[in-house]
Structure 1
Amino acid sequence: MTRFPLSRRGLILTGAAMLAAPRLALSQSLPEAEPEDGVRRNSSSFIRQDWQDHFDDLGKAAIVCDTSSRALHYWSAEGDYRIYPTSVPRTDELTKRGYTEIVRKKVGPTWTPTASQMERFPDWKPVEGGAPDNPLGSHAMYLSWPAYLIHGTHDTRKIGRQSSDGCIGLFNPSIEELFAITPIGTQVRVI
């Protein structure tokens, strides 16, 4: 009879394999359930969008901000596609939906609370561009709707959540990338 030396590492690996085997076997044997609405989602729950469902043509570029799956979809004029996780407005009352466009872009934007924010949060003060506590992060793209922006955030906990006062927020590296490729006049739809 052959004896195998027992080590702590071997025991831990064997135990982990035994615990994982039933779960692995079950996942291999069950067919993937079709979602009730018929729309397949990727592992992060983003609903894939198609620009033709929202715009007649790509124009300079196109953005769809999907508030339900908390994702921003971008198509260049050539049809290149990118998707970014976002933060979205906290409530439906703060969410403006419809068609707009990018009218201005700013690196290091200064943030000034709106009148309604000052009513709700009287202690809020304006924050200079580039400040680490700036709610607009490193870059901002202004929409034709007053006080609505697509911008970055230094508070990465907000991404993927209903956490804004109406704007669409992205991680700072994501807004920096999007900012660089998005021309003024890009059509935007918020759904």
Structure 2
Amino acid sequence: MSSTRITRRSALLGAAVTLATPALLRAQSSDAFPQSEEPIRDQFPVRRNISAFREQHWEDHFDRLGVGCLLADIGSRCVHYWGGDGQTYRLYPSSVPMSEELTRRGYTEVVRKAENPTWTPTPSMRERDPSLPLRMDGGVGNPLGTRAMYLSWPAYLVHGTHDTRKIGRQSSSGCIGLYNQHVEQLYPMVQIGTQVRLL
């Protein structure tokens, strides 16, 4: 009887390993873990949880609150939002650009918003990856997720993503990415003209 238990246990363990293998291989793909990111040993240590995010105050970054302020903190990989009412505050984990060359820092503003946005890869994206489509309609698989807020800098956005592995990582071509459920919370609060700083 004990040999039957061992055999059954072994069979169940073998089946579990077999079922888990495709997920493990997907998790180890290069798009989930970009090769261009500096080795963790060479980076300033930043814990990737909400308690590691530095507290920020809008007054430290903007002259006025206006209709609202959005700060993308590239170092701690998070987005802070302060509403124009002076009461609303939100903090979300984010993805950030893959390299310093793709990172633009400074002040801009939200100039347009879109639900289920279409995606048009830039010429430099298509140069890096010629297999990219010329255009992709909104929906599952679209890298802009379910909502997008366009900045005054061409081709820079704050948007959602269907690929949740990207959040908390250097994984974008310049944009700031959020989980879809977070960008859907933020989207109705952010008005056209909201001030934005990438720090």
TM-score, with length taken from structure 1: 0.76
CA distance in structure 2 between the partners assigned to 1:124 and 1:42 by the alignment: 32
CA distance in structure 1 between the partners assigned to 2:185 and 2:50 by the alignment: 23
CA distance in structure 2 between the partners assigned to 1:60 and 1:181 by the alignment: 10
Asked if residue 50 in structure 1 is aligned to residue 57 in structure 2, the reply is: yes
CA distance in structure 2 between the partners assigned to 1:46 and 1:190 by the alignment: 15
Question: Which segments of 5 or more consecutive residues in structure 2 lack a partner in the other structure?
Answer: 1-47
Q: Which residue of 1 aligns with 2:188?
A: 180
Is this contact kept in 1: 2:50–2:93, CA < 8 A?
Answer: no
Deviation at 1:42, TM superposition (A): 7.4
Deviation at 1:78, TM superposition (A): 1.6
Q: Which residue of 2 aligns with 1:127?
A: 136
2:83 partner letter: S
The runs of at least 4 aligned residues of structure 1 exceeding 4 Å deviation read none
Bigger radius of gyration among the two: 1
Asked if residue 165 in structure 1 is aligned to residue 156 in structure 2, the reply is: no
Deviations 1:67-110 (A, max 9, x none): 00000000001222110100000101000000000000000100
CA distance in structure 1 between the partners assigned to 2:96 and 2:57 by the alignment: 20
* Superposed CA RMSD: 1.3
Aligned residues: 150
2:66 partner letter: G
Q: Which residue of 1 aligns with 2:103?
A: 95
CA distance in structure 1 between the partners assigned to 2:62 and 2:120 by the alignment: 32
CA distance in structure 2 between the partners assigned to 1:43 and 1:152 by the alignment: 19
Identity value in percent? 61
2:59 partner letter: Q
Pairing 1:32-43 to 2, within 5 Å after superposition? none
